Homo-oligomer: A and B are copies of this chain.
Amino acid sequence: MKNRLFFESSNHKEMSMVFDAIKKEQENIGYYSLPEQETKYIIEYVNGISDKIESVAIIGIGGSSLGAKAIYEFIKPIKELKRELYFFETTDPVNINTILDTITLSKTHFFVISKSGTTIETFSIYKYIYSLQQNSSSYTFITDINSPLDKYANEIGAEVLHLPDNVGGRFSALSVVGLAPLALCGIDTKALLLGASKIKNSFFKNGYIRDTLLKKASFYAINHAKYHINCLFAYTESLRYFSEWYVQLWGESLGKRQKHSAFNVGLTPIGLIGPKDQHSFLQLIMEGTRDKSVTFIKVEDFEDGIEIPDITLPYLESLDTLNKLPFSTLINLQCDSVVEALENEGDVPIDTITIPKIDEFNIGSLIFYYELLTSLVGKLIDVDTYNQPGVEVGKRILKRKLEKDNKCR
């Protein structure tokens, strides 16, 4: 992965302070050690699941599904996988019915994932699916040790895997939460972790990414009141769900009251896909309010081999400059053109991330890169990166509404 910043940031004292803080934070926050985790037990576990299983389904929401989805949807178009992966991640009945119409229950293995073990959405869906398929061997539960779900799974004699200590939902993509269902589909989880490890080592062992990440984080933090919208503009459809994962990671980690001042702060994440969003959101970046930074992600080589044929269309001869151009080159030229246009503007902070190709190693790198960046910015803007107190109020109100409604049923 290459990362080029088009802006300067030179607050060296701040950068050295935050580096030390993150080094220290590693002792308490679990996600930092995921690249080196022992995964043999996960691989052995999924290898023990019957060959008759054709589909894998995750019942989970937010951090329990977004990471696996980001990785699965990135790899699926370019690799023949062993099994398809489905996501029950909403209480929308139309969506639940649509997925149930697609899979065969008896040939599906379900991962029921809830860190706390009491997520409303997950259990509504689980209860419904359980009423259709009561064979406990169809389910693997993933939850915190000793959670109510852990106890339930033991009670019914089902298999349970546990989240490692101090790994929050939105930082759990590279833990058993993501790895178990992905491994069952045939995703190379070892390569995923190797990619993450490469970024981790480059950061902590003074590789090229340390300076870049520190500069970027410190620029975002110092300017967070001005450039408070961060766009991730990926020039490949394959990163569509990665951008949803990024939106959760960034928004939920960085949008909150400051620890010491209680001031409402927040960096608003926006996921864009090029070139499609050149015909949509780009106008707003080019000419709208100057409140956005943009990170472009490019894939160096799509390894697809298709190119635009050497055809001249009458009246459309001006398009002959496209002839014999590989699509891979075209999409990257499109990205470069937008980068150049924004560079000319001068007041839109941009940077580019280039990954060599679409594979497990590179998505592992991207995930760890963004997790580190989030931790750095969170530290610098003085928020607790790892909690989400703002969503509790709505949960309490829902609980009250459910109790009230329950009395009428």
Contacts and interface: CB of A to CB of B under 8 A. Distances in A.
A73 to B, nearest CB: 11
Given A289-B228, A398-B337, A93 B306 contact: yes
Range, interface on chain A:
35 or more
B237 A275 contact: no
Contacts of A395: 337
Interface in A152-166: 152, 155-156
A89 B276 contact: yes
Given A124-B330, A313-B127, A331-B92, A390 B325 contact: no
Nearest to A402: B321
B123 A316 contact: yes
A280 interface: yes
A130 B314 CA distance: 14
A255 B287 contact: yes
A148 B284 CA distance: 29
Contact of A401 (B90, B316, B337, B390): B337
Interface in A376-394: 388-391, 393-394
Given A123-B316, A124-B322, A319-B123, A278 B334 contact: no
A340 B393 CA distance: 9
How many copies of this chain? 2
Interface string A246-283: 01100110111100000011101010010110111111
Contact of A257 (B287, B391, B406): B287
B322 A248 contact: no
A214 interface: no
A207 interface: no
B280 A247 contact: yes
A304 to B, nearest CB: 4
Chain A to chain B: the 8 pairs with minimum beta-carbon distance, closest first: A266-B288, A62-B279, A255-B284, A255-B288, A286-B390, A248-B280, A93-B304, A93-B327
Interface of A: 61-63, 66, 77-78, 89-98, 117-118, 120-121, 123-124, 127-128, 130-131, 148-149, 151-152, 155-156, 169, 228-229, 235-238, 244, 247-248, 251-252, 254-257, 264-266, 268, 270, 273, 275-276, 278-292, 302, 304, 306, 308-309, 311, 313-316, 318-331, 333-334, 336-338, 340-341, 344, 358, 388-391, 393-395, 397-399, 401-403, 405-406, 409
Given A255-B288, A264-B289, 12 more contacts: A61-B276, A123-B322, A127-B319, A128-B309, A152-B314, A228-B289, A252-B281, A287-B389, A321-B399, A323-B406, A333-B402, A340-B397
